[in-house]
Amino acid sequence: MKHSVCVLGGGSFGTALANIMAKNGHQVSQWMRNEEQVEEINLTGLNSRYLPNAPLHRELLATSNLEQAIRDSDTVFVSIPSKSFEQVVQRIEPLLTADKILISTTKGFNPNRFELMSDVLRRNPITQKIGVLSGPNLAKEIAAGQMTGSVIASADDKVRQRVIELLKSPTFRVYENTDSTGVELAGALKNIYAIVCGLAKALNVGENTMSMIMTRSLAEMSRFAVHFGANPMTFLGLAGMGDLIATCTSPLSRNYRVGFAIGSGQDLDEAIGGIGEVAEGVNTLKMVVDEAHKHGLYMPLAEGLSKLLFEGAKLESLIGSMMTGEQKWDVEFATNEGNNNV
């Protein structure tokens, strides 16, 4: 069955998803504010700002008409940066119907309060057919046809099956999960640790150190997420470990590049300005550290990065925090209730 889909957002990931669905024969419109970007995509089949050298399917239609894009769709992917997410969702709310499916692909928090993007979607009174898509999904690799997988998380089986139907292709596989909280928190939290890994790489630390940083990052992520209701096992999958590896090791990762730039001597503003795209990890960091303090959660890497970026702490103290911290158990969670290191 062919569907009518709207992708909100003209960035790299939204464009990559829209292109897959258009190739799969679905009717796809991609909404964006920038009229020049709309014209470029429709006339040349390119989104040169975000996905240069990646030809788009001829049936992919870019538009700046939000009302028409929403009304004509049965499924809406919201691929808007977190700072604008709530505003755009408020604009589409009067256009929603009970049968529309809403999917968030944004890896971050509402900058106005500690709230996940899917929770912003759930505040609408019209439809509760909501899901979260997350995983190791570097947009430029997807657009180039490199194989990858992602996770659709929703309590609603029909939502999960719809997304699989829309996105399944020889190079893009979608797995299912019912733990929306865990999948979404994994996607948001890993951006913090990608900055840490970029910093470490700029300092030319060894592979032993990098593996330790990523493993302890996963421990911090799962510790934080479980406190807010996530399943720790989610962090062993694509949305957790998979996304963490991709984001913490690739120069294609915006947050990794921010960290690398800072580790190479740039200040935070220079690093953010240099990548030309939104790096969600900086805003996520502030919110996560505040929440960790409120709830008494031990987050030494996040805490150290916050002090480095916002309080002028020394770079060396960030890595050193792993070696002197209070945590003594390696594995944070265990399936055996008799095990004490839980």
Query: Is there a binding annotation on residue 253?
Result: yes
Query: Where do the domains of the chain lie, and which CATH numbers do they carry?
Result: 4-178 (3.40.50.720), 181-324 (1.10.1040.10)
If you average pLDDT over every residue of the chain, what do you get? 93
On the question of pLDDT at 337 being above 90, the answer is no
- Please write the tens of the pLDDT for every residue from 18-60: 999 999 999 999 999 999 999 999 999 999 999 999 999 999 9
On the question of pLDDT at 14 being above 60, the answer is yes
pLDDT band at 336 (very low <50, low <70, confident <90, very high): low
- Please write the tens of the pLDDT for every residue from 249-296: 999 999 999 999 999 999 999 998 888 777 788 889 999 999 999 999
Average pLDDT rounded to a whole number, residues 47-76: 96
Query: Is there a binding annotation on residue 48?
Result: no
On the question of pLDDT at 339 being above 50, the answer is no
pLDDT band at 322 (very low <50, low <70, confident <90, very high): low
Q: What span, in angstroms and rounded, lies between the C-alpha atoms of 133 and 180?
A: 9
Q: What span, in angstroms and rounded, lies between the C-alpha atoms of 332 and 15?
A: 37
On the question of pLDDT at 341 being above 50, the answer is no
Query: Is there a binding annotation on residue 10?
Result: yes
On the question of pLDDT at 340 being above 50, the answer is no
The catalytically annotated residue of 23, 83, 168, 190 is: 190
Query: Is there a binding annotation on residue 71?
Result: no
Q: Is-above-0.85 flag for pTM?
A: yes
Residue 128 corresponds to which amino acid?
Answer: Q
Query: Is there a binding annotation on residue 135?
Result: yes
CA distances from 99 to 41, 95, 102, 130, 159 (A): 29, 12, 10, 11, 11
Query: Is there a binding annotation on residue 113?
Result: no
State the number of CA atoms in the 13 A half-sphere of 310 facing the CB.
Answer: 13
What's the per-residue H, E or C state across the chain? Answer: CCCEEEEECCCHHHHHHHHHHHHCCCEEEEECCCHHHHHHHHHHCCECCCECCCCCCCCCEEECCHHHHHHCCCEEEECCCHHHHHHHHHHHHHHCCCCCEEEECCCCECCCCCCEHHHHHHCCCCCCCEEEEECCCCHHHHHCCCCEEEEEECCCHHHHHHHHHHHCECCEEEEEECCHHHHHHHHHHHHHHHHHHHHHHHCCCCHHHHHHHHHHHHHHHHHHHHHCCCCHHHHHCHHHHHHHHHHHHCCCCHHHHHHHHHHCCCCHHHHHHHHCCCCCHHHHHHHHHHHHHHHCCCCHHHHHHHHHHHHCCCHHHHHHHHHHCCCCCCCCCCCCCCCCCC
Q: What span, in angstroms and rounded, lies between the C-alpha atoms of 215 and 263?
A: 20
Average pLDDT rounded to a whole number, residues 196-223: 94
* pLDDT score of 275: 83
| 168 has catalytic annotation | no
On the question of pLDDT at 213 being above 70, the answer is yes
Average pLDDT rounded to a whole number, residues 140-146: 95
Query: Is there a binding annotation on residue 254?
Result: yes
Q: What span, in angstroms and rounded, lies between the C-alpha atoms of 215 and 154?
A: 27
Q: What span, in angstroms and rounded, lies between the C-alpha atoms of 58 and 28?
A: 11
Average pLDDT rounded to a whole number, residues 87-113: 96
Query: Is there a binding annotation on residue 281?
Result: no
Question: Which tokens sit at 202?
Answer: 């700029």
pLDDT band at 125 (very low <50, low <70, confident <90, very high): very high
* pLDDT score of 312: 85
Q: What span, in angstroms and rounded, lies between the C-alpha atoms of 274 and 146?
A: 26
